[in-house]
Chain A
Amino acid sequence: MFEIIITIGVVLLLVIIFMLFRIGRIVGIIKGSDKQLVSGSNQVNAVLFLVFLLVFGGLFVWYSYAHFDSYNLPVASEHGVVTDRLFWITTAVTGVVFFITQFLLFTFPLRYQYRDDRKAHFYPDNHKLEIAWTVVPAIVLAGLVTSGLMVWSDITDTAPEDSEVVEIMGHQFAWKVRYPGKDNKMGGFDYRLTMDDNPMGVDFSDQNSFDDFSAGQIYLPVNKNVKFQIRARDVLHSVYLPHFRQKMDAVPGMPTTFWFKPTKTTEQMRQETGNAEFNYELACTEICGNGHFSMRMMVIVVEEAEYNEWKAKQESMIQKDPGLLKYVSQNLQEVAMIKSGLESAPTNTEQDKSEEPDSSM
């Protein structure tokens, strides 16, 4: 019943609008205004452009100013400060151009609206003017490009030797994280080794992997360079840490990397934002399927001492699941037991250096 009433109402409304349209047309024909090229509505449109400029210009300025904190994401990395500055310089430059050009565009209609007694100014070209507004944007852009190129080459430069290395692997629809363990060497991997108990396809014939540990959250030390080694297991993903201004695609078959220096601990950020619940997050920014919007992982930045403490406490993959030893070749079993922390080390460690693993995957 209710639907029927609504339907009837909508139909009546459409009929009324149609009638109004018909009446308007007939009036137009009687007045003859529809035959003229220019009618009274010319001025209405000209005024509306100005109104639009004022209302929307006002809204733009007001929102940008009043809600600055809601759209300006706090920055917590060294290069992020630089790219943010670049962003705002670019915004300032383009903002000036934006206001001047839109102002002219929306005020010209009122100033130069059609008048019967006036003729437009025949002005087909002016080479000086044209050269000027080719050269000036070119110079301004050259400046922006140069500063951008320098920043870009710094950011994408090789990671410093002493960086903390973290491996991040994306898969549908979660992240897996691996740290290199006490030897600071990340073990190899091969996607063909992926098993239920070895979701990252870690190559356990590589001795470097024996002490590698995985984590459910990404722990990072503050004020220390961090290098992400990024890969994907199934489809494209993208590692995105918004507060660190960090983003890099995870590509199956082509490991990628990104390094940066976090400058604020989670605790400092909580104080800065006044949000006691604040947490850094890792999100996926490359469409990867149904669960694309849910690939979240928490990122925790702590003081270096606390980080080292945390790291020392972590159990290696093998230690957590001794069943993984089955992937280790027979002659390395003992080394793996020791290195992974399952057994305490004997005094003589010469032995494991002599036996090279066949891990040339």
Chain B
Amino acid sequence: MATADIHVDEGLQHHDDHEHDHHDQNFWTKYVFSEDHKTIAKQFLITGIFWALLGGLMSVLFRLQLGFPDMSLEWLRPILGGWLTDAGKLDTEFYLALVTMHGTIMVFFVLTAGLSGTFSNFLIPLQVGARDMASGFMNMLSYWFFFASSAVMFTSLFLSTGPASGGWVIYPPLSALPQAMSGSGLGMTLWLVSMALFIISTLLGGINYVTTVINLRTKGMSFSKLPLTIWAFFLTAVIGLLSFPVLFAAALLLIFDRSFGTSFYLSDIYIGGEALPNSGGSPVLFQHLFWFLGHPEVYIVLLPALGITSEIISTNSRKPIFGYRAMIGSLLGIAILSFIVWAHHMFVTGMNPFLGSIFMLLTLIIAVPSAVKVFNYLTTLWRGNLVFTPAMLFSIGLVSFFISGGLTGIHLGNAAIDIQLHDTYFVVAHFHIVMGSASFFGMLAGIYHWFPKMFGRMMDRRLGYLHFWLTFIGVYMVFFPMHYIGMAGFPRRYYSFTNFDAFNSFADLNALISVAAIITLAAQFIFLFNFFYCIFRGRKASANPWKSNTLEWTTPRNPGHGNWPGEIPTVYRWPYDYSKPGAEEDFIPQHIPYSETPESNLPHENDLVRIETQDGDAIRVSDQGTEE
């Protein structure tokens, strides 16, 4: 393995030198059609931020309807136009369109592309010690397919019949029949086209991530020395590669049903005054296919956030992550189990109840590796020397959400309890906390932590604190009360609750949630200001502002194409040697050989010194280590 790495590195290095000698990049190849993983990462990030803002604004719109049902939204007519009724309220179908697009945007465009796209791209080459991704061209394609997908989805917002509005899970027959709702017309077609492009983007990106991690690790960077971020990105990419094609198949069959008269999902339907000829299909089939992606998707969203958090918590606790191997083991466990729990979304869909039993069993097993992660985070904090950077605050916030939202998963994973809770606000509370907010916090933590490496400048710390506390309190104020509303049985995706005696309460909580949602969204503008202001005017960052161990901090302040001006550093130790007894500083970066740190080496590490020196030419510090 090691020899293979060296060959690849040399080849790439040679290639890069060649390029630097003869080829100056113009504006287009440097900033637009760039093949540099760092630029592509920023492109994903900025696009992700745009979508997050739009998705957030949509949620505030429908929260206005839910929190203040009598409020006139006439003042929004210049933007919403015909989507308001004459009374100045949201159109009922537009409400569903908002809910649908909010879900689609947040899950796919923000927390998949915005999170994985940004940090896998940015960190994989930098942390494994590679010049760039395995295929820079494919990486560029990955972004531009995502851009095309975004453009199509964005266009669908302006259709007169509205964007897709059958829920982000687009269950047929509702999504298959334009007669059923107008959003299932052209809006749904564009949704499917957009998702097809999105899947291509994800696959192009994922193949690159996996290949880069396997093939382009620098000398000494064995899998057992990889930072947990890379483990998380690697497994995320593998999950994506295996599950997204299934969504592609599901979407393709839906396209066939919609446009070519097939009956994969349709059967026995009488709608709009006529009986359709479709027969033999099953809507439940779609649900199986959808959730075969849909559930792993939850982990595609969550695992990168957990990886980022592991790194940040360890760095800012000035302490090794507790149970490095257990953390990898639990990531692996979650990744594998994520494929065999999908039908817990379908306990009451008419699926065979025996199948429900099996999936209930498997679902509750996945709670074990999740619990291990939480305990390991807590032990990492225990007796640490905690530095509260904004990134650290968001990471602690993530752990809190992961606990709060994860525990309610134990309720929902239990089929018997799920009968009552399914499709109520309890579910909304659960997944917004554990998947939405936790991953969102992971993304923000990552931005605060790696901003200095991305832009060479620091973000403002005080604004970061303000942003964190407003968002943290805001998120809990939005989603925690939803548990109560859900326990009272309120169904989700309801435009209003006044039709039912059973649901005609909680006006106070709903108003509170809406106010909290508005405050939370407003707090994000603090972040936006901080982010864009500091790109240009932030204080210049030092090379290693957080005193971190991983390789990206050995690059220059603004790493150029190829990341390291000279040779790529060799890796000698795991990335978590923080506060090692005997060491002068409270951190020892990965590229420092054991031969340089005899004072802090553990017994078995002293043995490694000999191996280091046998490798002769690759060692920066030559024979001095053996004299000790």
Contacts and interface: CB of A to CB of B under 8 A. Distances in A.
A218 interface: no
Contact of B268 (A39, A71, A191): A191
Contact of B411 (A94, A287, A289): A94
Interface in B486-500: 487-489, 491-497, 499-500
Given A151-B416, A235-B177, A293 B410 contact: no
A37 B387 contact: yes
Contacts of A145: 360-361, 364, 414
Contact of B348 (A109, A130, A151, A247): A247
B322 A123 contact: yes
15 contacts: A39-B461, A41-B465, A56-B480, A71-B487, A119-B579, A125-B324, A137-B368, A141-B365, A148-B414, A152-B415, A249-B349, A251-B350, A253-B268, A293-B92, A296-B500
Given A73-B489, A148-B417, A98 B173 contact: no
Nearest to A55: B473
A133 B407 CA distance: 15
Contact of B368 (A112, A141, A291): A141
Interface in A21-47: 21, 24-25, 28-29, 34, 37-39, 41-42, 44-46
A10 interface: no
A24 B462 CA distance: 9
A34 B540 CA distance: 11
Interface residues of B, number: 121
B245 interface: no
A294 interface: yes
A323 to B, nearest CB: 18
A236 B283 contact: yes
A105 interface: yes
B601 interface: no
Contacts of B321: 124
B388 A42 contact: yes
B356 interface: yes
Contact of A101 (B171, B378, B463): B378
B472 interface: yes
Interface stretch (A85-93, A203-211, A304-312, A349-357): A85-93
A67 B396 contact: no
A289 B180 contact: yes
A149 B480 contact: no
B210 interface: no
A327 interface: no
Contacts of A101: 374, 378, 403
A105 B348 contact: no
Interface stretch (B200-208, B222-230, B247-255, B419-427): B419-427
Contacts of A247: 348, 419-420, 422-423
A252 interface: yes
A199 to B, nearest CB: 9
Interface string A102-123: 1011101100111100111111
Contacts of B137: none
Contacts of B458: 34
B181 interface: yes
Interface of A: 21, 24-25, 28-29, 34, 37-39, 41-42, 44-46, 48-49, 52, 56, 60, 63-64, 67, 70-73, 80, 82-84, 86-87, 90-91, 93-94, 97-98, 101-102, 104-106, 108-109, 112-115, 118-126, 129-130, 133-134, 137-138, 141, 144-145, 148-149, 151-153, 155-156, 171-172, 191-192, 194, 201, 230, 233-236, 238, 240, 242-243, 245-249, 251-254, 256, 277-279, 281, 283-294, 296
A290 B357 CA distance: 34
Interface of B: 92-93, 96, 166-167, 171, 173-174, 177, 180-181, 266-271, 275, 279-284, 317-326, 348-350, 353, 356-357, 360-361, 364-365, 367-368, 371-372, 374-376, 378-379, 381-388, 393, 396, 399-400, 403-404, 407-408, 410-411, 414-417, 419-420, 422-424, 458, 460-463, 465, 469, 472-473, 476, 480-481, 484-485, 487-489, 491-497, 499-503, 505-506, 539, 545-547, 576, 578-581, 586
Contacts of B323: 124-126, 130
B245 to A, nearest CB: 25
A279 B460 CA distance: 57
A63 B364 CA distance: 29
Contacts of B177: 234-235
Given A83-B417, A290-B93, A285 B491 contact: yes
A63 B379 CA distance: 31
Given A145-B360, A296-B500, 13 more contacts: A45-B393, A80-B420, A83-B420, A90-B411, A108-B381, A123-B319, A124-B576, A130-B323, A152-B353, A192-B270, A245-B419, A247-B419, A279-B501
